[in-house]
Amino acid sequence: MHRMANLKRRRVNRRAVYAGSFDPITNGHMYMIRTGAGMFDELVVAIGINPEKKYTFSLEERLGFLRKCTAGIPNVRLDHFSNMFLFHYAKQIHAAYILRGIRNSHDYEYERAMCYINADLNPDVASVFLMPPRELSEISSSFVKGLVGPKGWARVVKDYLPPPIYRHFLEHFVDGKSRGDTGGLKDMPERV
């Protein structure tokens, strides 16, 4: 009976949260955002901040990227949260759904385990999974940043980044190095 009540509440509250580091936002993220916006009344795209991680782009830059890329999607709202479990954040903003992408078998195993843990800790929030099309399935922020450096990298990354942020991405990586970096690229953070 408890699960039926949860399902009825979810039908009324069709708000979902899609969280990530978006460091930077990629075409794969945009697929998730566009598809999720079509599925829910409101999609909260939230930057999750892990205080122990080092990010390539500042929070302000990443929010700016998201703002530019989602400008034409009326039911998308942007936010950020720090040092909090995603299911706690979902509860805090009254989201009934967590939207997650599954690109490969590694993502599946991780997301399956997280789905069960989230359901145990907060049964009022359901996880919804999307599998991106083949041409986007291996794109991640770390993948794109890992392409920086070799000759021709600027042309290669263009295929993986939304047009509104491509120029900013190029300007950030001057001569294949991050601005202000004197020793080349450092280890890139993984996705949230």
Q: Of 15, 29, 100, 145, which one is the catalytic site residue?
A: 29
Q: Does the annotation count 105 as an active-site position? A: no
In this prediction, residues 91-119 reach a mean pLDDT of 91
40 pLDDT tier (thresholds 50, 70, 90)? very high
This prediction has a pTM of: 0.83
Amino acid 31: pLDDT = 96
Of 15, 62, 100, 103, catalytic: 103
- Exactly one of 100, 141, 145, 191 is catalytic; which is it? 141
Q: Answer yes or no: 29 catalytic.
A: yes
In this predicted structure, the answer to whether residue 180 has a pLDDT above a threshold of 50 is: no
pLDDT at 136 (0 to 100): 86
Q: What string of H, E and C letters represents the secondary structure of the chain?
A: CHHHHHHHHHHHCCEEEEEECCCCCCHHHHHHHHHHHHHCCEEEEEEEECCCCCCCCCHHHHHHHHHHHCCCCCCEEEEEEECCCHHHHHHHCCCCEEEEECCCHHHHHHHHHHHHHHHHHCCCCEEEEECCCHHHCCCCHHHHHHCCCCCCHHHHHHCCCCHHHHHHHHHHEECCEECCCCCCCCCCCCCC
pLDDT band at 167 (very low <50, low <70, confident <90, very high): very high
How many CB atoms lie under 10 A from the CB of residue 63? Answer: 17
Q: Which of 9, 53, 88, 167 is catalytic?
A: 53
Structural domains in the chain, sorted by start? 2-136 (3.40.50.620)
Q: Does the pLDDT of residue 106 top 70, yes or no?
A: yes
pLDDT at 23 over 70: yes
Q: Are the C-beta atoms of residues 24 and 65 closer than 8 Å to each other?
A: yes
Active site residue 82: no
Q: How confident is the model at residue 178 (pLDDT cuts 50, 70, 90)?
A: low
Q: Active-site residue 88, yes or no?
A: no
Using the predicted structure, report yes or no on whether residue 146 has a pLDDT greater than 50: yes
